[in-house]
Amino acid sequence: MSKYDPKDLNGVMPAMITSINKDETINKEGLRQIINHLIAENVNGLYVTGSTGETFLMSPEEKKEVLDIIVEEVNGRVPVIAHVGSIGTKITTDLAKYATHAGVDALSALPPFYYNFSNEEIYNYYSDIAQSSHLPIIIYNISHANLMDIDMLKRLAAIDNIKGVKYTAATHFNFEKIKKEIGAYFKIYSGMDEMAISGLISGADGMIGSFYNLMPEMFVGIFQNMKNGNVVEAKKLQDRVNMIILYALKKSGYPFIKMGLSWMGIDSGYVRKPFSSIVNTEIEKGIKDDLKKLMSENDLSEIKFLKAL
């Protein structure tokens, strides 16, 4: 039984990376290091085995292995939301049952994609997940899998244990409508790292994102400043992290995050193929030089991983 009520699932929740060894096995100790690093930076929860965690490059057995390690290492210190989604209902519900038994606090699932499933098929998919576990479920609305409209979200929200949505799109104006038409109890998690402030202003209860692995202190600062009404200070932090995000996305994304963590002595590992890890020392040196230049031109002193350059 989860120790966290759905109403407690708020704040900054990194979409956690998965540490992978060079031979593509799970890096267990690296995974533990990442968990402890994030918790030490006062994040409010962990969103695991999602896209950022390279879930679609892992077998079901590997996902189970990762979930076991995470639940053990977290040991109840923060809520753990396990993403269990896949194209197939059976694969998804099997992992949902396993994650529930493993001791996670909530589930999440991307809608089935690729085959252009109908709204009825998507509804049945989420209904089946809800029947497979007693845990609260966070549905995942993302443009990569075709955004669900408000009517579809309202229909899904009527399922007893569906308690919120991870909303990864720039259409934050929908947040107020979702809250109004579904209810204040229905959680909204903004999934656009570059638009964390926009999501919070629009009514998000929390934020889930990839770059929270690399700069958790910055996003915790954004959330706390917004909570305290310090919008100007929060905007300064958002502007600074966006400089890094926009630069990183031109280079690699997930490999950049893992490389940056490694500079702080965290064994973040490699990315799985067909992603390309940054292992070329000349490329890495070029990135470091670019970041040093960015630092010299801007006040980025609060970003901890840059201090390791």
Strands 206-209 and 187-190: parallel
Strands 137-142 and 206-209: unpaired
Residue-wise DSSP of 161-173: TEEEEEEESS-TT
| Residues in CB range of 32: below 8 A, 6 or more apart | 69, 73
Report the alpha-carbon distance of residue 233 to residue 176 in Å, rounded. Answer: 24
Report the sign of the C-alpha dihedral through residues 142, 257, 188, 124, in that order: positive
Q: Active-site residue among 166, 179, 187, 258?
A: 166
Q: Which amino acid is at 7?
A: K
Q: Active-site residue among 140, 167, 254, 270?
A: 140
| Residues in CB range of 46: below 8 A, 6 or more apart | 13, 14, 16, 35, 38, 70, 74, 78, 79, 80, 81
| Residues in CB range of 252: below 8 A, 6 or more apart | 276, 278
Q: How many CA atoms lie within 13 A of 184 on its CB side?
A: 0
- Residue whose token pair is 């954004």: 222
Active site residue 166: yes
Active site residue 292: no
Residue among 142, 152, 140, 147 at smallest CA distance from 181: 152
- Residue whose token pair is 């390279």: 54
Instruction: Supply the residues annotated as catalytic.
Output: 140, 166
